[in-house]
Structure 1
């Protein structure tokens, strides 16, 4: 530490370079962009820095060693953000980058080791889900379009949350492909609307009944309780029975079974949607209640299999 002509304890740029190992050119750059303000100049015109310059410079040096952006460091040095804020923000950024890289790895794995015609088909599919947030938003927009306009907002929100799976956190080639197929299905010319009021009458009652049945089915999956499984099926069947003013009788169940089987044979849109959704969400264990993104897939797979005797999953 030296003493300048103004009577203040200051340090020169050469001493800062010697004590930190940083080049003078780098310290001068930090000074020019405002990370390390000068406290004045010597009579010879050399930069002088306040006593805390060494600790400030070491903080900058350590943050840069972690590839922290200059703008983020500047926010800390000016007091706009705390160091804790910076760590939280940078952790969020790193996790987002990791998610993107993991998804890209899954896409490349799906394109690897397959015949050239299939690789070209997959490439066309996967190119549409390369940007995860955009792909997710498109699925959400499909459901807003597909659901009845008169459905209460809370039910719309609940159905969309349960119907739109998040991309798998640890994607495999099969789950990546399933997500891409799901997206293609909802953005293609053959996409379909969900049951409307002219088909089911009271849409709020119908969708509430389906959601309640799915909640019970999710609980039965988590607990393995046969009674809860039967309760879920009863609730599901009664919801469909009410549409046509029917009772839940063996004859109606036989009719519903035939209806579901015929839909499966025709390769219906709902069958394909939930089949792909099951594949995307297969890594997630059923919860005790129907919650979370895409939670309807496993529940509806169970209910469909109980009604039709056919597994929804491929």
Structure 2
């Protein structure tokens, strides 16, 4: 019931009806979120009865941890249109995204701590340093930088993006301790923090121009996919469509014919090229699903194809 003679409420009455402190009402008023109807002769704040619903709305929005500028936008839209649907929907969606990010970060931190807890005591200090080097959740930016430096400099952006899609693993949403370790290992590998140096690009991949680079990596992607299908069936390296596509990618990039001599030379060259086996081993660990055989990676598919090429090329 309104007890004020002019139909307005004092700050104490409004605070009592809303179940908040006078200090809270004063804070929202001073920040322009809760307009006053006026002041009494003695200079005390006065509010209309509608201030109660507005104050409750402010409190509800703040209890969802929405910042004051967002609360202001919601209230301004409500004042302008009689409803806060658009601004409120955007605010809630943004808060849900933020909470999702926080929850994901907490899952990564929990898995990282479990990985430290579960390892032998003598290894815990090193394990802690390894996983602590990761943000939570981790970024793939170091992996992307590694591959951009490794790929041919003239390679078209579209081809680079297509290669990144298969070469850069995404951090799982619900990581296990082993997956955190695998991603931490990848981060250490590509940043050099594990003590190694970044490998140089294989000589067989140093193509002359942008077109050749695009042809090579597009052909390799198709060959890796075909080889991966063979690997899932449990088939051993052998000649076939996958190997033909693999060799054709190198031959087309070099504008040469696929001949027995070319295959022998390619086999020799690939055998002597620098390797990044550890990268692909960690990628397989990161993407592994419990209870299932590891999925083929571009690295394991490449090894399968090189073995098939060696077998087909002979001594």
* TM-score, with structure 2 as normaliser: 0.76
Q: 1:155 aligns to what SS in structure 2?
A: helix
- The residue that corresponds to 1:38 in the other structure is 36
Query: Are residue 170 (structure 1) and residue 170 (structure 2) matched?
Result: no
* Structure 1 residue ranges (4+ consecutive) displaced by more than 6 angstroms after TM superposition: 221-226
| Whole-angstrom distance in 2 between the partners of 1:302 and 1:146 | 19
Pick the aligned partner of 1:100 from 105, 127, 141: 105
Query: Are residue 247 (structure 1) and residue 258 (structure 2) matched?
Result: yes
Pick the aligned partner of 2:184 from 161, 169, 180: 180
Contact residue 74 and residue 87 of structure 2 kept, 8 A: yes
- The residue that corresponds to 2:311 in the other structure is none
Q: Which moved more, 1:105-114 or 1:275-284?
A: 275-284
> Kindly tell me: are residues 255 and 207 of structure 1, through their superposed partners in 2, closer, same or farther at Cα, counting changes over 3 Å?
closer
| Whole-angstrom distance in 1 between the partners of 2:264 and 2:10 | 88
Shift of 1:307: 4.5
Query: Are residue 157 (structure 1) and residue 161 (structure 2) matched?
Result: yes
Shift of 1:54: 1.3
Pick the aligned partner of 2:198 from 178, 191, 198: 191
Query: Are residue 111 (structure 1) and residue 116 (structure 2) matched?
Result: yes
CA RMSD of aligned residues (A): 3.7
| Whole-angstrom distance in 2 between the partners of 1:246 and 1:177 | 44
- The residue that corresponds to 2:46 in the other structure is 48
- The residue that corresponds to 1:277 in the other structure is 283
> Kindly tell me: are residues 147 and 297 of structure 1, through their superposed partners in 2, closer, same or farther at Cα, counting changes over 3 Å?
farther
Shift of 1:169: 1.2
CA distances 1:147-201 after superposition (whole Å, capped 9, x unpaired) = 1111111111211232111212111111111111111111114211334677455
Shift of 1:223: 9.5
- The residue that corresponds to 2:313 in the other structure is none
| Whole-angstrom distance in 2 between the partners of 1:305 and 1:60 | 62
| Whole-angstrom distance in 2 between the partners of 1:302 and 1:33 | 62
Shift of 1:300: 4.3
Q: What residue ranges of structure 2 are gaps of 5+ in the alignment?
A: 79-85, 309-315
Shift of 1:145: 1.2
| Whole-angstrom distance in 2 between the partners of 1:109 and 1:123 | 10
- The residue that corresponds to 2:248 in the other structure is 238
- The residue that corresponds to 1:298 in the other structure is 297
Q: What residue ranges of structure 1 are gaps of 5+ in the alignment?
A: 287-295, 310-314
> Kindly tell me: are residues 225 and 279 of structure 1, through their superposed partners in 2, closer, same or farther at Cα, counting changes over 3 Å?
closer
| Whole-angstrom distance in 2 between the partners of 1:269 and 1:14 | 74
Contact residue 258 and residue 308 of structure 1 kept, 8 A: no
* TM-score, with structure 1 as normaliser: 0.76
- The residue that corresponds to 1:312 in the other structure is none
Q: Which moved more, 1:73-82 or 1:50-59?
A: 73-82
Query: Are residue 126 (structure 1) and residue 131 (structure 2) matched?
Result: yes
Q: 2:154 aligns to what SS in structure 1?
A: coil
